[in-house]
């Protein structure tokens, strides 16, 4: 057994373990005050070695050494780590619980350095670009842990994954709220021409680019995009591939990397509700693209940053459609996926991801519900006449309650 990650909950900790060469995993839960683990098995979605090869990214050794310094001189620990039946796990989790605000426990327990006052001042002046824990989590999934069986494993605990995402969203929002690049445009003036996105209007084999181009074209013609049988979901194009991080000049990331890349990537589509003028984070997923769980995490990254007071002021000053935004205005998230014909169960992990979203928006109050009004999963189809059709099942519309 090898530990993949530790997930912190309100009253317990979960450790996810994978057996090398096997198609199952074990989730062990250590409730507060317990003396041992509670166990249950889950079957992996697609068994391959990519998960097994990535497990060392999630070491639990640092947390054990911080909580139990005597382990540093234990040769058995240095070779095998803390065995799962060792009662000292209780001491480790007690330490993690008492220091929850100083540690991030999903991508391996790692100590977070408290920013000196001069760094906080630099954040406010837009000189240091923060990297939030939620963005780090998304990067780890995208760059090294995109195997669908690992994502399925995370999705097998919808309520607990929702709690983890809510905690990370809150932390990300708090961290990014200090950042002030209000005078910085989201994109250079030559943005649309430079990317020449409209050249993809008829490229059916590039679904994401083609859909993006057609939504942009509808916006340039002043047309709104409608969702069949759901007039409340009508939306309008505002911009594309904008980055909340974009900062020119001598700015640097918090890890000391140059800030020159801060304008790269970004939202697939920045949309607006019609009417209403609320911003929408639009994320497009092709049939052959990554699963919608990754799209959800990516969308939450952008939502956590765009709904801070500074970024809302930035939206308001950049785009006339958002002129009525307030400093606490929420956003919507539209995850737009390629509709297959005939449509089956939808894209990979749709069912599991919607279960997480339901927990996020209809469960107990959390930071996501404070900043996100709706999360909607929409199927899109490219038409031969250059148009688009959008459809959405009622059970794929989730509103904060």
Tens digit of pLDDT for each residue in 269-320? Answer: 999 997 668 999 999 998 766 688 889 999 999 999 999 999 999 999 999 9
Using 50 as the pLDDT threshold, list the residues of the chain that sit under it.
Answer: 1, 20, 44-59, 100-119, 144-147, 193-194
pLDDT value of position 120: 52
Spatial separation of the C-alpha atoms in residues 156 and 148, rounded to whole Å: 12
Burial-class residue 291 by CB neighbours within 10 Å (0-12, 13-18, 19+): buried
The last residue of a domain, from among 69, 85, 112 = 112
Domain membership flag for residue 167: no
For residues 237 and 375, membership in a common domain is answered with yes
The last residue of a domain, from among 112, 145, 172 = 112
Domain membership flag for residue 58: yes
For residues 100 and 249, membership in a common domain is answered with no
pLDDT value of position 57: 29
Measuring CA to CA, which residue among 191, 203, 290 is closest to residue 241? 191
For residues 232 and 363, membership in a common domain is answered with yes
Domain membership flag for residue 300: yes
Query: Containing domain of residue 360, as a range?
Result: 191-399
Residue 191, H or E segment: helix 191-195
Domain membership flag for residue 128: no
Domain membership flag for residue 172: no
For residues 197 and 100, membership in a common domain is answered with no
| Residue ranges in 308-349 assigned as alpha helix (H) | 309-318
> DSSP letters along 79-102, please?
HH-S-TT-THHHHHHHHHHHTGGG
For residues 394 and 273, membership in a common domain is answered with yes
Tens digit of pLDDT for each residue in 111-170? Answer: 333 444 444 555 555 577 888 888 888 877 765 444 455 666 666 678 878 888 888 899
Spatial separation of the C-alpha atoms in residues 60 and 161, rounded to whole Å: 19
Spatial separation of the C-alpha atoms in residues 141 and 137, rounded to whole Å: 6
pLDDT value of position 344: 63
For residues 242 and 381, membership in a common domain is answered with yes
Work out how many domains the chain is built from and give that number.
2
For residues 200 and 321, membership in a common domain is answered with yes
For residues 332 and 213, membership in a common domain is answered with yes
The last residue of a domain, from among 63, 78, 112 = 112
For residues 223 and 371, membership in a common domain is answered with yes
Spatial separation of the C-alpha atoms in residues 242 and 322, rounded to whole Å: 15
pLDDT value of position 126: 53
pLDDT value of position 13: 63
Residue 41: count other Cβ atoms within 10 Å of its Cβ.
9
Contact 15, 60 (CB under 8 A): yes
For residues 242 and 336, membership in a common domain is answered with yes
For residues 108 and 195, membership in a common domain is answered with no
Domain membership flag for residue 145: no
Residue 327, H or E segment: none
Domain membership flag for residue 331: yes
| Residue ranges in 84-157 assigned as alpha helix (H) | 88-98, 117-124, 133-143, 148-155
Spatial separation of the C-alpha atoms in residues 323 and 317, rounded to whole Å: 7
Domain membership flag for residue 168: no
């Amino acid at each position: 057994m090898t530990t993949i990650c530790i997930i912190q909950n309100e009253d317990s900790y979960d450790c996810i373990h994978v057996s090398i060469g096997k198609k199952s995993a074990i989730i062990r839960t250590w409730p507060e005050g317990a003396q041992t683990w509670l166990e249950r098995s889950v079957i992996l979605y697609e068994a391959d070695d990519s998960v097994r090869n990535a497990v060392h990214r999630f070491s639990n050794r640092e947390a054990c050494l911080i909580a139990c310094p005597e382990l540093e001189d234990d040769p058995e620990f240095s070779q095998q780590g803390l065995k799962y039946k060792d009662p000292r796990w209780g001491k480790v989790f007690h330490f993690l619980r008492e220091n929850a605000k100083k540690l991030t426990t999903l991508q391996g327990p790692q100590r977070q350095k408290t920013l000196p006052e001069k760094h906080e001042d630099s954040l406010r002046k837009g000189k240091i670009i923060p990297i939030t824990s939620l963005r780090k989590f998304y990067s780890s999934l995208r760059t090294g842990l995109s195997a669908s069986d690992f994502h399925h494993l995370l999705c097998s605990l919808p309520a607990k994954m929702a709690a983890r995402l809510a905690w990370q969203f809150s932390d990300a929002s708090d961290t990014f709220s200090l950042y002030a690049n209000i005078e910085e445009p989201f994109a250079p003036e030559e943005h649309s021409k430079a990317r020449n996105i409209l050249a993809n209007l008829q490229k059916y084999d590039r679904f994401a680019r083609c859909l993006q181009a057609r939504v942009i074209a509808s916006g340039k013609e002043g047309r709104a995009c409608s969702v069949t049988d759901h007039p409340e979901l009508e939306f309008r194009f505002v911009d594309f591939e904008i980055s909340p991080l974009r900062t020119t000049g001598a700015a640097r990331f918090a890890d000391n990397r140059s800030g020159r890349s801060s304008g790269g990537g970004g939202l697939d589509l920045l949309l607006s509700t019609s009417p209403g003028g609320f911003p929408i984070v639009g994320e497009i997923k092709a049939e052959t693209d990554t699963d919608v769980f990754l799209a959800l995490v990516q969308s939450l990254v952008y939502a956590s940053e765009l709904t801070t007071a500074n970024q809302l002021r930035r939206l308001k000053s950049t785009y006339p459609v958002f002129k009525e935004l307030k400093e606490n205005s929420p956003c919507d998230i539209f995850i737009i996926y390629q509709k297959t014909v005939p449509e089956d169960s939808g894209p990979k992990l749709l069912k599991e991801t919607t279960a997480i979203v339901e927990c996020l928006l209809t469960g107990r109050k959390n930071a996501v519900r404070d900043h996100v009004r709706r999360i909607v999963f929409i199927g899109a189809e490219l038409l031969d006449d250059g148009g688009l059709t959008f459809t959405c099942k009622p059970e794929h519309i989730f509103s904060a309650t």
